[in-house]
Amino acid sequence: MRNLTIKALVIYAAALFILASGCQNERPEAEKRLPSEIQSAINDSVFSLFFDGKLTGREQMSSVRDNITADLMDSVITDPDSLDDIEYIAYAELLNWSGKDKKAREIFMSLRDNEGEVGRSALSSLIELETDSGDFRKAIELVSEYRERFCRDQKSRPGMYNMLEELSGRLNNAGNPEDAARVIIKELNSLECVYPHSSYYLISELMPLMLELGRSGEYLEMALSIRGDLERSLEAHVDSMAYNDTLTKDDDSILQDYKTLMSRYNSVIDQVRLIGETAPAIDHVHVYNADSTFIFSDLEGKIVLLDFWATWCMPCKIGFKETRKLLDEFHDQGLEVIGVTSLQGMYPGLETGNTPAGRRKELDPEREIELTASFIKENGITWPCLISRRNIFDNEYSLSIIPTLIILDRDKKVRFILSAIGSYPQMRRLVKKLI
């Protein structure tokens, strides 16, 4: 299914839609369904394709979603008088997906000034519409309005991260990393560190933008400042708690959230400190697609893309397609790709590590090396891949997320770090600049 066309993907997704929305012959043929029902089943179908590795990136997901929606509009209840406001918004979102953005915008605008869930949903949908249409200036204005109206509570900022992630991603892929960074920084500056919040996801999203812009020092100062605020907030939280026999620190979920957040901040801070430094060598126990004498120093004089992955990581599998595109375009100009993984003690589909029974087992290293060879072949990986002696989450590159992509210049200095997929335009810009 690797080379499926959009049309074939739509047919496949339609079959998933039927499964997601229930057996069709259980309903009278003429009965129409609520917009939210249709919308939910469409999203389930598209995400099933994504997690099966058949879709890569926002553009392909949106294209398949929109094609399915256009085919299903006749099965949707469309009478405004029979729909409450939330369902009316869901109907407008379906209109937008099916290409009728003018009518969708009218509905969103008519409901955006409402209070509560209706106004929040209408304004959120309007931001999505303007982002999809490429009117980024308008989308940025609406995000500011959304923040002012619906994000006053620091403990709950509903939907804000997803909107900013989509908007900054579109801006970045359109070649506007400065604007993409600006919208994230504005949100970070609006946060008060009085509770564990989504700032880590924002600071992680911001890092590759600031690195491309040459603002790693500014980024480091920002990350250190927020971490310091969180440390003080954590201390205040602990001081305010009355731990006893029935509530210990181990039972305090907020405390655990703080600890997780601090660990993630430490990871991005350690990573940005690598920029401009010589890349740490990777000692390996096995290598695929290369001579067994391969050593890290063989990369001298090459632009190198290190791709950290694991066999159980679906986004990693999706990311291989972007890596392949970069290698195909720039290999003749000096780009080398090196995949890096490590023994995990498990393999997808085997009863090792990922089931209650499997947690008591650990896959034999030799067997895992053999299975990983099959994985590499099945996923069309032709570049060298190392099985690192150290766990990929316990090495000098301070990974907390995979896939992570790291670009080294010809002097083996670290120039760029990205923990994500779907950022091919940015990766292409950076590789082209170094070459």
pLDDT in tens, 69-107: 888 888 888 887 889 999 999 999 999 999 999 999 999
> Greater confidence, 158 or 132?
132
242 Cβ contact partners less than 8 Å away, ≥ 6 residues apart: none
**Among 22-31, 269-278, 414-423, which is the least confidently predicted range?**
22-31
| pLDDT on residue 56 | 67
Placement of tokens 């950290």 in the chain: 308
Q: What is the dihedral of CA 12, 16, 17, 19, to 10 degrees?
A: 140
What are the tens digits of pLDDT across the range 167-191? Answer: 999 999 899 999 999 999 998 888 8
Contact assessment for residue 131 and residue 167, using Cβ atoms and an 8 Å cutoff: yes
The token pair at 10 is: 């739509």
Judge if the upstream peptide bond of residue 365 is cis by omega within 30 degrees of 0.
no
Between the ranges 10-14, 15-19, 194-198, where is the mean pLDDT highest?
194-198
Torsion, CA 43, CA 46, CA 47, CA 49, rounded to 10: 160
Tokens coding 82: 């029979």
Contacts (Cβ under 8 Å, ≥6 apart) of 403? 307, 308, 309, 313, 315, 316, 319, 419, 420, 421
What is the predicted pLDDT for the residue at 24?
A: 45
Check residue 26 and give its pLDDT.
47
pLDDT above 60 (res 359): no
| Residue whose tokens read 């900054």 | 168
Given pLDDT bands bounded at 50, 70 and 90, which one contains residue 27?
A: very low
Q: Greatest CA span in the chain, whole angstroms? A: 73
Ramachandran area for residue 398 (φ above 0: left; ψ -120 to 50: alpha; else beta): left
Tell me, what's the pLDDT at 352? 63
Contact status, residue 381 vs residue 359, Cβ threshold 8 Å: no
**218, 221, 223, 228 alpha-carbon torsion, rounded to 10°:** -160
Rounded distance between C-alpha atoms, residue 323 and residue 423, angstroms: 10
Is the pLDDT at 273 greater than 50? The verdict is: yes
pTM for this structure?
Answer: 0.84
Beta bridge partners of 304: 336, 408
* C-alpha dist (Å) from residue 3 to 8, 16, 55, 323, 423: 10, 19, 10, 16, 20
In angstroms, what CA-CA distances link 70 with 9, 64, 98, 99, 211? 14, 10, 5, 8, 40
Q: Residue 1 has what pLDDT?
A: 39
Report the alpha-carbon distance of residue 390 to residue 282 in Å, rounded: 8
pLDDT the model gives residue 25? 44
Write down the residue that tokens 């405390």 correspond to. 255
Beta strands in 6-144 (DSSP E): none
Alpha helices in 136-252 (DSSP H): 136-150, 160-173, 177-190, 199-212, 216-240
> Which residues have a Cβ under 8 Å from the Cβ of 241 and sit 6 or more positions away?
247, 252, 255
- Report in angstroms the alpha-carbon separations of 381 from 229, 312, 347: 43, 16, 18
Burial of 353: CB neighbours in 10 Å, binned 0-12, 13-18, 19+ = middle
pLDDT at residue 41, rounded to an integer: 87
Angle at 421 between CA 419 and CA 426, to 5 degrees: 85
3-class SS of residue 82: helix
Distance CA 190, CA 145 (A): 13
Which pLDDT does position 2 carry in this prediction? 40
